[in-house]
Structure 1
């Protein structure tokens, strides 16, 4: 019996009881499956780039230089609990996915609106990162 333990803290680390190659781990990510189930989302041409880490500071600078200040703000903290120095598309997608859970737990309309706005911005950042990865810029 194979037992996989997944935790946002363990991103990029193989589960404690199984040794799976990156391609199997990437295809089993529940956040990615929900993301790709939506036909209007941009898709990665190279699935291996889904977990490829990028220097967070360099990404933020590139986003600011091109005028994407909102995306840069989200990039500063999306997935920071997993890795402060680097960011990946997977981290941003998981961050957007956890915001959906937080929206369900929100107690006020103001909290719901703030979280929904942040989730939309995180999804836009993920789409921009996918677009840049497909263009070879990430």
Structure 2
């Protein structure tokens, strides 16, 4: 009669699982995923550009030089809670998502319209930043 002791570490499913390398997945920001899922939006040629930091003051100056006062105003405060000195396209997209969530909490039609207008301006800024990044202007 033979006695055999089973060891989960050396055989069975657990033993085989440890030899399979785990794939490393990059967690993508939900705001970026939503933006990229809209085919009519301008898209970046280089996906790393979403997180490229741009000096907020320089961006505002560039927008004002092209008489884009509304975009410059949005650029002054979009993402300022994350980084006061720099701005990324991803921060602008997160700010637009935040405005969408706040629209659901609006208590009056006036608040809803103001938030919708601000969200549209924020999306316009994101598209302009994407366009300028694709043209190597940022």
The TM tier, using the shorter chain, reads 0.7 to 0.9
> 3-state DSSP class of the match of 1:96?
helix
The match for 1:9 is none
Residue 30 (structure 2) pairs with residue 24 (structure 1) = no
Larger radius of gyration: 2
* Separation of aligned partners in 1, 2:115 and 2:26: 31
Deviating beyond 2 angstroms after TM superposition, the runs of 4 or more aligned structure 1 residues are: none
Q: What is the TM-score with the length of structure 2 in the denominator? A: 0.81
Deviations 1:20-52 (A, max 9, x none): x9x924xx1100111111111000001111011
* Separation of aligned partners in 2, 1:80 and 1:43: 23
* Separation of aligned partners in 2, 1:114 and 1:35: 22
Aligned residues: 115
> 3-state DSSP class of the match of 1:24?
coil
The match for 2:93 is 93
The match for 1:106 is 106
In structure 1, the gaps of 5 or more residues are 1-20
The match for 2:74 is 74
In structure 2, the gaps of 5 or more residues are 1-23
CA RMSD across the alignment = 1.3
* Separation of aligned partners in 2, 1:31 and 1:72: 21
* Separation of aligned partners in 1, 2:103 and 2:35: 17
